[in-house]
Amino acid sequence: MPTLTRAEAVERASVVDVEEYHIDLDLTGSGDTFRSRVTVRFRARAGAATFLEFEPAEVASMTLNGVAVPAAASTGARLELTGLAEENELVVDALMRYSNDGEGLHRYTDPADGNTYLYQHLFINNAGRVLPAFDQPDLKAVFTVGVTAPEQWLVATNGTLVSRDGCRWRFAPTKRISTYLATLIAGPYHQVTSEHDGIPLALYVRSALAEHLDAQAPEIFELTRQSLDRFHEMFDIRYPFGHYQQAFAPEFNFGAMEYPGLVVFRDEMIPRSAVTDSDRERRANVIAHEMAHMWFGDLVTMAWWDDLWLNESFAEYLGSRVTAEATRFADAWTTFAMHRKAWGLRADQRPSTHPVAPSEVVDTEQALLNFDGISYAKGAAVLKQLVAWLGDKAFLAGLNEHFQAHAYGNATLADLLRALSEASGRDLSAWAEVWLRRAQVNTLRAEVTRDGANYAEVAVTQTAPADYPTLRPHRIGVGLYDRRADGGVVLRRRLEVELDASGRTVLAELAGQPAADLLLLNDGDLTYAKVRLDAESAAAVPLLLPRLDDSLARAVIWAATLDAVVDGERPVAELVALVLAALPVESEVAVVEDVLKATRGLVDRYASPETRPAALGLLAQAADRLLAAAPAGDSRQLAAARGLIGATVDTARLHGWLAGENVPDGLAVDADLRWLIIYRLAVLGVAGADVIDGELARDRSASGEQWAARCRAARPDPAAKEAAWTAIVRDASLSNRLAELTASGFWQPEQRELLEPYAERYFTEMPEMMRNRGGMSAEHIASVAYPSVMVSARTREFAATLLADRDLHQILRRVVEDSDDDMRRALLARG
């Protein structure tokens, strides 16, 4: 991915104003390239010079205002132009390369049927891989697209289809959009259509998944209609981009992307096997999230990437809100508290922490790195607080004023704050300074002194890290929970408390009151902060948590407990004991899944090699108890089975499930569960290459191919490890998803001795991977390939040596710095 600096973008925007891209693509060739014939119309300052992003394989012709542009003008991923007129027309005819890294025009061949599928992903600065473009968010333009494709293919774009004549597709001009939002799909996609409130709806998926889309389309359309209705209730401007299409594409780098008129999702969101209700809730949330972008990001777009939060924080907040308010997934905020917010808190405490709204993002490479838990989850949590402070009516009024003022244009943090301040009558500058402009997180602790059975004093203390000493105003709930005589738990009282930035707030109204069995800070999950319980409340958690009815309160407790273990304030053994006590009776499947996944990760890194087997055995026991208790066919049964498979060493039981023996009633050992079992058996060394190849022959599909890659990498065999490592580091022909899944299967705690040499090789050889790949694919691979299970001071020494290289790629530097900090925490916890 070429890099564009903010300074270059500002200069270019002062020179040019783009009107239209007329794009004509020919996709009928048989080689590795496609033909791109593009006309770009733009105004400019007469006599000035500028450049476009452009990465051709071969140029047939280039003219500017009818005059040939020399071939030498196209170099270094840019097309340099001089002698501009006030009105300009650039015409380029070139061959461009298909990609296999999820960027540009990605080409994929489905192993199930040999069909080829394309999708276009120009994000962040990849437009030049398809067309010459002024590739920055504030140079919006109209896109008019024509495509020549094989006759049996389907083609869809942002714009509405105008005509199809055999192989030729023509689409209507779009509204003014940014270059990174222009997309298309092409291939023998299967289509399902509908309509709602005058808006044409469509769904697309690979032919191999047609039956699964047909079965799931009613649910997806229902979620789409419910979300559209809720957004139309909130916003004065109706959905602004004509049709609303949703495509599920293979090997998509993101979970989804908010292209106006044609949202693209990773096609794993059309599952072919049984899924849990939380899996379905996550899909509902993503649908609502991407729809929120139609207003936040597409209708009104950030001027530059330092205001990324105007896109992602709002979409994250509204995704959870609309899911909770408009769909059957009413507990979406519990999932947010348990899963998404934890992601934000982890990201906010790493060396790469940054403000939600940084004052400067110097280039597009840094912008890519800011697509993290801070820009998404922390920003959403902060917005949730803001709505509680301003009131929903004022908040929505400000948003609608913002949309009216900047529709089809660009905006900044200052623009939005101005609209919200005017609508609410509050000056938001102080709020924005501490919550949006400053990094890191506060910790809230309950300080309790007792006088016999009563409280003598209850105070909430607020602290901040020494390097980020900002204390903030917080509004929190404080819940007092008591155990009933029948063993249940009752909420006696919930206080709404305003914490100022002094650092210590006394809850005077609790003085002299009977002490609760559990005093829960941030009950209701109103603020963004780390929470620590007082000693008596923490001691009561194992007894009270299994009997607490409020799922959001349970999520707050689980999140606080997990975070305390991450910080080394609680031992991982204590967490495992709590999982064994409370998880088998947990009713919220999202909590079950997140607790099992998070605890497994902590056991693998925080438990010593000597204590890990026992901890893992207790985790398997907890999953087994839940499996026995969950009703047949219930989501918790599937979640428990997945957790058990990942933790158990009972290979005979796993082989029995593959053979259909002693499988719990209601549990389907379908294609994906079979692969999960085989993956665990491969890790344990009892599923060799023959077993993996046999399963792949049984499941010759995209998912089967990906599972097989992961399983091969997981085998404790020297030759298998070397082949996997070579593929990860050196095989640029391997697609983005296959490379990522190979990396995800490579590191196994059970195989530390075999893997020891690769710990050092990561730090000496990963820079080579960065030269072979770029962008988000490179970041994903570098992250999952990190030797996180090789917890030792020696691994940290390797990291320090690599980080001392001043020329280290920015993406790899961030991955190593953050991963090394995680290892620092693991070593402290072990100590």
Q: Tens digits of per-residue pLDDT, 74-89?
A: 999 999 999 999 999 9
Structure tokens at 723: 């082949």
Structure confidence at residue 137 (pLDDT) = 98
Cα 359 to Cα 361: distance, rounded to the nearest angstrom: 7
| Residues near 114 by beta carbon (within 8 Å), at least 6 away in sequence | none
Q: What pLDDT, in 10s, does the model give residues 771-817? A: 988 888 899 999 999 999 999 999 999 999 999 999 999 999 999 99
Strands 256-257 and 300-302: unpaired
Structure confidence at residue 831 (pLDDT) = 83
Structure confidence at residue 1 (pLDDT) = 60
Q: What is the 3-state secondary structure (H, E, C) of 655-680?
A: HHHHCCCCCCCCCCCCHHHHHHHHHH
Q: What pLDDT, in 10s, does the model give residues 636-672? A: 999 999 999 999 999 999 999 999 999 999 999 999 9
Q: Tell me the whole-structure pTM to 2 decimals.
A: 0.96
Q: What pLDDT, in 10s, does the model give residues 149-196? A: 999 999 999 999 999 999 999 999 999 999 999 999 999 999 999 999
Q: Is 618 left (phi over 0), alpha (psi -120 to 50) or beta?
A: alpha
Mean pLDDT of 92-107: 96
pLDDT band at 711 (very low <50, low <70, confident <90, very high): very high
Q: What pLDDT, in 10s, does the model give residues 401-421? A: 999 999 999 999 999 999 999
Angle at 161 between CA 170 and CA 293, to 5 degrees: 120
Residue with tokens 């140079």: 139
Structure confidence at residue 685 (pLDDT) = 97
Structure confidence at residue 773 (pLDDT) = 87
Strands 443-451 and 454-463: antiparallel
CA 333 to chain CA centroid, Å, is 17
Cα 417 to Cα 399: distance, rounded to the nearest angstrom: 10
CATH code, 1-97+128-162: 2.60.40.1730
Mean pLDDT for all residues in the chain:
96
Of the candidates 825, 305, 771, 756, the residue with the CA atom closest to the CA atom of residue 564? 825
Q: Where are the domains of the chain?
A: 1-97+128-162, 716-831
- The verdict on whether 219 is a catalytic residue reads no
Is the pLDDT at 318 greater than 70? The verdict is yes
Catalytic one of 103, 258, 281, 290 = 290
Cα 495 to Cα 136: distance, rounded to the nearest angstrom: 48
pLDDT band at 30 (very low <50, low <70, confident <90, very high): confident
